[in-house]
Amino acid sequence: MFSKPKKHSVSEAPPEIKEIYHRYSDEGGIMTASHLRSFLIEVQKEEKITEEETQAIIDHRDLNLESFFKFLFGDNNPPLLPSTEVHQDMSLPLSHYYIFTGHNSYLTGNQLSSDCSDAPIIEALQRGVRVIELDIWPNDSKDDVDVLHGMTLTTPVALIKCLLSIKEYAFVASEYPVVITLEDHLTPDLQAKVAQMVTQTFGDILFCPTSETLKEFPSPDSLKKRIIISTKPPKEFLEAKEEKEKEESQKGKPLGDEEAWGKEVPSLRGGTIADYKQNSGVDEDDLKEEEDSDEAEKARQNASDDYRCLIAIHAGKPKGGIVECLKVEPDKVRRLSLSESQLEKAAETYGKEIVRFTQQNILRVYPKGTRITSSNYNPLIGWMHGAQMVAFNMQGYGRSLWLMQGMFKANGGCGFVKKPDFLLQTGPNNEVFDPKAHLPSKTTLKVTVYMGEGWYYDFKHTHFDQFSSPDFYARVGIAGVPFDTVMKKTKSTDNSWLPSWNEVFEFPLSVPELALLRIEVHEYDMSEKDDFGGQTCLPVWELRNGIRAVPLHSREGDKYNNVKLLMRFEFI
């Protein structure tokens, strides 16, 4: 028979909560504001809370066990530091922060045939993403600029539409700057047109550097409510294009579409050099004529000047391989882009050099081109090497994206999270952090999973099982540096919409500054794949000690109305 709780049934306090209540209440079983303050100081580690604040929390009323339990499981007892408060130092250069970064931000689905639109850009900005990527190409008539994933069957969207949406939604979720990274496949006259579009659209909120190259990046504080453009300077773009064309003509390989054509992208249009020239409006004979014509060269330079002046964060790959790419120049900062595969390969030999590079410069990591379904990768590899822009397909829902969303719950959800000090420091002998080092444990996170509730109200009653209540279990673990990464699991409950586990897990952490607490709930299914019941990822360094109500989210990262867990966090 299908068993489920009555509509208004109330979950019962776990045994440990009852014990704590009796410990902090008077002989008559009543918890006064004074008792509650003692609990908040000793168990919840809220040392600075005053009696007046405590009285306000409980509305000047004493608590019985039921109301104390309701208080603990309520919305005003979240697991993280206040979610709307930026509390980190935001006056340091941009290179000192992890930045919430999107990849191919205009795609609605897969990388090869989905529609391009401003809708995913708007959604990303509403979620706090601070770096939007646009691939810009000539339109079919070669007189305007489209955004699309080149050499594929993705349907284009006009650049101006994307720019207008960025302007409207840039600072809805955060007042900190938005960076637009342009993957530029344009002729000089269209670059000039982009410069005009960008200038007219953003006006005074556009950040234009006073010199062509920056010695140090500005701070997020100094760039509040500003738009920043990052791309290759036009001259470097043309040189890289010509060099790549020369290489590809010798190898007979198809042309890619990212960062000097280094990205591994399957092509549905063949991707030959001739295709590219046809799509970009550049003919080989025209190029030769331009090269031979001083007037044409001068016109090209003039057309590019306005465009060049917009570029605040210069991108590009120096010639000479990874060693040259990672060279730190004393008076010039820049952005380097590597695919996830290129980063992993470079990290095998040059891990410390990558860390040194990212202390001043910006490293952007993007998904390898074979991720045609818009899946993602492990962001911790980039973060532990200091990469600021770990670019994700925001429509690629799954565990990797949950980690990304978890990281940027930190620092008030403003889209910028300060990198740990050890990634920014240089030792007395000019040494830097070694990502391969096996470090001793700094602390241990003790996690108690008491119980959960809310599925009865947020899911159809036949969602998990047609004829019985669900059999929930929780997965709890750490995503972090390799030595800290682990997942554990509770037992399954039997036929209950109000699962009670009361299980304890301990997680030794060597790098707690980069650890994310992973929490998932699933419903055990004997005959089919277990059903998903919610998830969240929480930055360990912002966890609040004590007993907390932990809201769960959908696969897409949207918070459920009622589903939450009661958990306890202790650092021992």
What is the 3 state secondary structure string of 233-290? CHHHHHHHHHHHHHHHHHHCCCCCCCCCCCCCCCCCCCCCHHHHHHHHCCCHHHHHHH
Catalytically active residues are 103, 149
- What residues contact residue 39 under an 8 Å CB cut-off, 6+ apart? 20, 24, 31
Q: From 570, 536, 531, 540, select the one nearest 551 (Cα to Cα).
A: 536
Instruction: Identify whether the C-beta of residue 99 lies closer than 8 Å to the C-beta of residue 129.
Output: no
179 touches 131 (CB < 8 A): yes
Per-state percent for the chain, helix, strand, coil, to nearest 5: 30, 25, 45
SS3 letters for 407-472? HCCCHHHCCEEECCHHHCCCCCCCCCCCCCCCCCCCEEEEEEEEEEECHHHHCCCCCCCCCCCCCE
**All residues at 6 or more sequence positions from 522 whose CB lies less than 8 Å from its CB, including other chains:** 472, 473, 475, 530, 531, 532, 533
Q: Give first-to-last CA distance, the chain, whole Å.
A: 45
**By the 8 A CB rule, do 328 and 251 touch?**
no
Q: Checking DSSP bridges between strand 97-99 and strand 416-418, what pairing results, if any? A: antiparallel
